Amino acid sequence: MDERVFTITVGGRAGEGVKKAAQVIAHIFCAAGWNVCQADDYQSLIRGGHNFSTVSTSQTPVYCAHQNHDLLICFDQRSIDKHLKRLKDGALLFYNSDEAQCEQGIPIPMNSLMKKHYHGASNVSLAALAIFAALAGMTQEQLQEQIVQQYRRDIEENTAYAMEIYGMVSQRCDYGLDWSVNKPFHFVSGIQAIILGASKAGLDFFYGYPMTPASSLLHYAALKQESLNLFAIHAESELAAINMALGSAMAGCRTAVGSSGGGFALMQEGFSAAGMVEAPLLCILSSRPGPATGASTYTAQEDLFFALHQGHGEFGRVVASPDSNNRALSLSAELLALAWELQIPTILLTEKHLSEGMADIGMNHPELPEAKELPGTAGASYQRYAATPNGVSPLVFPGHKCAPDTVVKWTTLEHLENGVRSDSAADIKAMKDKRGIKAKAIQEACKRYQTTAEYGEGELLVFAYGSTVLELREAQKYSQRPFKIIAPIYLEPFPHEKLEQYRGKEVVVVEHSQSGLFAQFLKIKLDVQVKHLINKYDGRAFDPIELAKQIEELQDA
Amino acid sequence: MRDINTDKENTWCSGCGNFGILNAFKKSVAMMVEAGISLDDIVMTCGIGCHGKIFDYLNMSGMYGLHGRALASAQGIKLANPDLKVICFGGDGDSLGEGLEHTLFAAKRNMDITLILHNNGTYGLTTGQFSPLSPRGYKGLSTPKGSIETPFRPIPLLLEAGATFIARSYSARLDHLAHTIQRAVNHKGFSIVEVLQPCVTYYNTYSLYNKMVKELEIVPYNRNLALQLATAEEAFYIGVFLEETKPVYHEELYGSHNPAMDRKASAERVI
Ligand SMILES: Cc1ncc(C[n+]2csc(CCOP(=O)(O)OP(=O)(O)O)c2C)c(N)n1
Ligand code: SF4
């Protein structure tokens, strides 16, 4: 099979449909049975600036977008200036000659042609699709079909515009696309996969407040409300979101909240409340560079310890981070199920790269767990915080239809088994012990799932987590020096049973944090010797080929 | 009706207005049960403060929430199971200071729940600091020279925010308070009962209220009059100031669906 990876990038200003053009191209490759990754690089603005979207695709697996282009389509000068140096040998450049000048590449007067074909709002995004269609050898009918399916509005004007540009492109790229394949695909972002997984596990409510790159949790849940049987509530703040979620959980609904660092910080007290009232709650943290408002639309892994230590006070939790879009789907279901099984808050830690990065998760999903409570017996003797051998108390929900003659008291103050407050020394200790013994149950329950992943073989041991694993897997294809990727998926409780074999070993750590948080974490957990830390903290993902070179060049590792 | 008392030792100061609220609430619960509401369907939340202790003195379901967040949790409960009558007990610090946003938004949404606002004009539990409802000049540990802030006026505030049932009562008028609470809970939409609640230890307002409190005979026929009466200085009027019908949030969201009762199992969910 042809192992080449083709990278196609569309660049322009915000509002020009850069992402849309890339997505349509991505879908065309998906339908032809290819592997596709799409990454969108955009700024925190609505109009202007510089946005670009990259599609890397191959007949063999591809794990993340590359940063050197085989085909570059630029709607403006800034896109050329920024990306020209990243053209591969033999790459093609098309640009909007009404806006930009360039000594190389093929000029297309995209603006003048828009004036000619559109009466109202025009759509330069169609130019990119038309150029690609011509290059890839699509017929006019195939192009027309894409326009109708993907753009829906202004079909006539879009078609006229696209067809004229299509006719101007005489170059051809032999990708080797087989048009007869027509493979069903499910091309989703990490965030979409998270919502899908949680929905399958039983999610009833998502409470949130917009904050990039976590906003699409709210958007996608709202968009799919009917088909996914859930409700998305845009609350007045993150404080509201998590405290509303606690209420819904108490009344029997599976709930999740999510935000990026700032909003997650506001949810800290509510997170602790979940620990105290023993609320089952899935919390999604999608990181961007911080501190504070930081860089809203870029990627980072600087919230590792923040996630591990979320909230004040002592209580159990699970923290895990998906290493692919497929894993985002299954992990989200697992974390909602674990939350309910153990009545604890769980955290799905991810980052902008995976949250917004698109990939085909396929049509056949693995068996996903369901979020179920340990059911209690209704009646006068019910006690919300009844002591049990593993610390998990049976649950019933209030209301005469759910639990007649039953008092269900959830309490953020320290309490007795019946939920009534107490601050006697003996009661404080007893209830802390009750919550404390859950630790063992948490550890055992997590073992049911895949807690770590390893990719490739080699003497060199490279540790990473989250979407950095995708960058490494892609790099692995290009590195002359073989290496083994070791990726903890579950971070808390730490999967010692799987990773003790690496105790004290010399390792390389790759991550997106300035101070090497993950390296520090591994030192604490496994006493590894971090010979090399490859860390990138400029908000951007690694280019896999550059990452491969960095690994090859490591001295004495 | 089963006994709704608990054996938890009561630690309110002797003479505290909270006793009146507790007794009136018990009476209104009895009336609700008599009217056919199941005791199991009455669920409370409360914030942190002297007011919140009411949670422990009532053998009823609910969530003893975080300081300021009880009204957010109350909304979460209602959204999950709209069959429940959700009643939130809030202090003035709790509901108009730390958690002001939730109070305004619950009203804005016309969420079908009830807020019982314990207005004692002070932060009782944390030793009497000034609250959002303390008058100018109020002296507490954090304002030794007297508060330099003008207090909120809860009724105009909530009226503007969108509450559809607004009432005031007094903790020392047991029957009036019990009936007002019952009416508030029966109201479909966001209802608030501001309860004038003397704090004998830090802000004893009994003689002031006993002198000034006057019952309204009828609901004012328009909003202007309601505002005028609610902010009058010649008397502290108690009674219902506003009673309106507006669509409620959960019905706008999902009609007659009940998320907690109509849950779909994983096998029925398609992704
Ligand atoms: C987040 C948080 N901040 C502060 C406190 C401390 N605290 C407890 S009660 C209270 C104020 C209580 O005043 P109010 O809500 O008016 O209730 P009251 O005691 O007067 O009934 C404060 C500040 C807390 N528990 N949580
Ligand atoms: S401090 Fe005030 S509000 Fe608190 S119990 Fe005592 S009298 Fe009541």
- ipTM over 0.90? The verdict is yes
Same domain, A27 and A152: yes
Same domain, A318 and A420: no
DSSP category for residue B58: B
Same domain, A443 and A458: no
- Rounded CA separation A354/A360 (Å): 13
Q: A266-296 pLDDT, tens per residue?
A: 999 999 999 999 999 999 999 999 999 999 9
CB-based contact, B252 to chain A, within 8 Å: no
Rounded mean pLDDT of A473-496? 97
Q: A340-359 pLDDT, tens per residue?
A: 999 999 999 999 999 999 99
- Say if A184 falls within a structural domain: no
Mean pLDDT of chain B: 98
pLDDT of A487 higher than 90: yes
CB-based contact, B1 to chain A, within 8 Å: no
- Domain limit, last residue, from A135, A168, A201: A168
- Comparing CA positions, the residue from B78, B88, B87, B85 lying closest to residue B37 is B85
Same domain, A82 and A214: no
Same domain, A524 and A462: yes
Mean pLDDT of chain A: 97
Q: B11-55 pLDDT, tens per residue?
A: 999 999 999 999 999 999 999 999 999 999 999 999 999 999 999
Pair B170, B176: CB distance under 8 Å = yes
Same domain, A95 and A199: no
Residue A63: band (very low, low, confident or very high) from pLDDT cuts 50, 70, 90:
very high
Q: A11-36 pLDDT, tens per residue?
A: 999 999 999 999 999 999 999 999 99
- Rounded CA separation A390/A260 (Å): 33
Instruction: Select the residue of A196, A404, A419 nearest B40 (Cβ to Cβ).
Output: A404
- Rounded CA separation A242/A266 (Å): 9
Question: Does B260 contact A408 at a Cβ distance shorter than 8 Å?
Answer: no
Question: Does B80 contact A204 at a Cβ distance shorter than 8 Å?
Answer: yes
CATH number at residue A45: 3.40.920.10
User: Does the reported pTM lie above 0.95?
Assistant: yes
What integer pLDDT is reported at residue A61 of this predicted model? Answer: 97
Q: A534-545 pLDDT, tens per residue?
A: 999 999 999 999
Pair B80, B120: CB distance under 8 Å = no
Tell how far the Cα of A446 is from the centroid of ligand 1, in angstroms: 38
Same domain, A355 and A391: no
B contact residues 4-23, partner A, Cβ 8 Å cutoff:
6, 8
CATH number at residue A214: 3.40.50.970
CB atoms within 10 A of CB A458: 14
Same domain, A216 and A315: yes
- Say if A428 falls within a structural domain: yes
Instruction: Select the residue of A233, A251, A411 nearest B77 (Cβ to Cβ).
Output: A251
Q: Counting Cβ atoms within 10 Å, is residue A383 exposed (0-12), middle (13-18) or buried (19+)?
A: middle
Rounded mean pLDDT of B227-243? 97
Task: Determine whether the shortest distance from the Cβ of B199 to ligand 2 is under 6 A.
Answer: yes
Question: Does A407 contact B60 at a Cβ distance shorter than 8 Å?
Answer: yes
B contact residues 45-84, partner A, Cβ 8 Å cutoff:
45, 48, 53, 55-56, 59-66, 69, 72-81, 83-84
- Say if A397 falls within a structural domain: yes
Task: Determine whether the shortest distance from the Cβ of B121 to ligand 1 is under 6 A.
Answer: no
- % of chain B at pLDDT higher than 70: 100
Task: Determine whether the shortest distance from the Cβ of B57 to ligand 2 is under 6 A.
Answer: no
Choose from B64, B113, B252 for mutation: most chain A CBs within 10 A: B64
What integer pLDDT is reported at residue A316 of this predicted model? Answer: 98
A contact residues 395-414, partner B, Cβ 8 Å cutoff:
397-413
Chain A CA closest to residue B85:
A399
Question: Does B266 contact A201 at a Cβ distance shorter than 8 Å?
Answer: yes
Instruction: Select the residue of B6, B263, B271 nearest A199 (Cβ to Cβ).
Output: B271
Question: Does A413 contact B64 at a Cβ distance shorter than 8 Å?
Answer: yes
Same domain, A132 and A197: no
CA-nearest residue, atom 26 of ligand 1: B67
- Domain limit, last residue, from A389, A419, A449: A449
Choose from B10, B42, B54, B69 for mutation: most chain A CBs within 10 A: B69
- Say if A104 falls within a structural domain: yes
- Rounded CA separation B246/A267 (Å): 32
CA-nearest residue, atom 2 of ligand 1: B67
Same domain, A535 and A474: yes
The strand order across the sheet containing A35-41 reads A106-108, A87-96, A69-74, A5-14, A48-58, A35-41, A358-360, A187-189
Size of interface A-B (CB pairs under 8 A): 186
Q: A222-261 pLDDT, tens per residue?
A: 999 999 999 999 999 999 999 999 999 999 999 999 999 9
- Say if A369 falls within a structural domain: no
pLDDT of B213 higher than 70: yes
Same domain, A277 and A322: yes
| Lowest mean pLDDT, pick from A45-59, A205-219, A252-266 | A45-59
Domains and CATH numbers, chain B: 18-268 (3.40.50.970)
Tokens 């997650």 locate to A264
Instruction: Select the residue of A236, A270, A419 nearest B101 (Cβ to Cβ).
Output: A236
Residue A44: band (very low, low, confident or very high) from pLDDT cuts 50, 70, 90:
confident
CATH number at residue A517: 3.40.50.920
Structure tokens at A360: 């085909």
Tell how far the Cα of B172 is from the centroid of ligand 2, in angstroms: 15
Rounded mean pLDDT of B66-74? 98
Tell how far the Cα of B237 is from the centroid of ligand 2, in angstroms: 23
Task: Determine whether the shortest distance from the Cβ of B201 to ligand 2 is under 6 A.
Answer: yes
- Residue A138: in which H helix or E strand, if any? none
pLDDT of A419 higher than 70: yes
CA dihedral sign, ordered A164, A167, A170, A173: positive
Q: Which domain holds residue A59?
A: 6-168
Question: Does A406 contact B102 at a Cβ distance shorter than 8 Å?
Answer: no
Whether the link from the prior residue into A213 is cis, omega within 30° of 0, is yes
Total domains in the fold of chain A: 4
Same domain, A229 and A275: yes
List the beta bridge partners of residue A530: A507
Rounded mean pLDDT of A435-445? 98
Residue A463: band (very low, low, confident or very high) from pLDDT cuts 50, 70, 90:
very high
CA dihedral B104, B110, B111, B114 (to 10 degrees): 80
pLDDT of A557 higher than 80: no
